[in-house]
Amino acid sequence: MLDTTKQALAAILAADPTVSPEERKARLAPNLAATDTEPTDRILSPVETGKLLGGRDRHTLANWEKRGLLVAVRTGAGGKRITGYTRSSVAALLAGKANANTDGKAVA
């Protein structure tokens, strides 16, 4: 939740005489804890993705996407053009949660 929204909510609850201070605090607590305003599955460009994964080029990223290591977001006629990769798939690959070999060697 954005800070301006949190401030507006706090001001509205403070101005309401029917809301006790304890109730106001209870209503604001869950909203004040959520400070992440960036979507969790943001789309990273191929350049951003390559940099995060150690300077990999777009061909390597496309191969990893074909192997199921990355989730690509496609646009254009027939979905042939890769717009980017989901942040969650890049994070999973960085965390080692992907079920494949990324060194380019064949997986037996």
State the residue range of the domain holding 87.
Answer: 43-94
Report strand pairing: 81-86 vs 43-44. Answer: antiparallel
Would you state the structure tokens that stand for residue 77, as one six-digit string?
């006629």
Structural domain contains residue 104: no
Query: pLDDT value at position 63?
Result: 92
Predicted TM-score (pTM) of this structure: 0.52
Query: pLDDT value at position 28?
Result: 74
Same domain, 15 and 50: no
Same domain, 49 and 24: no
What average pLDDT values come out for the chain (108 residues) when binned by 10 residues?
Answer: 74 83 77 53 88 89 90 79 86 71 45
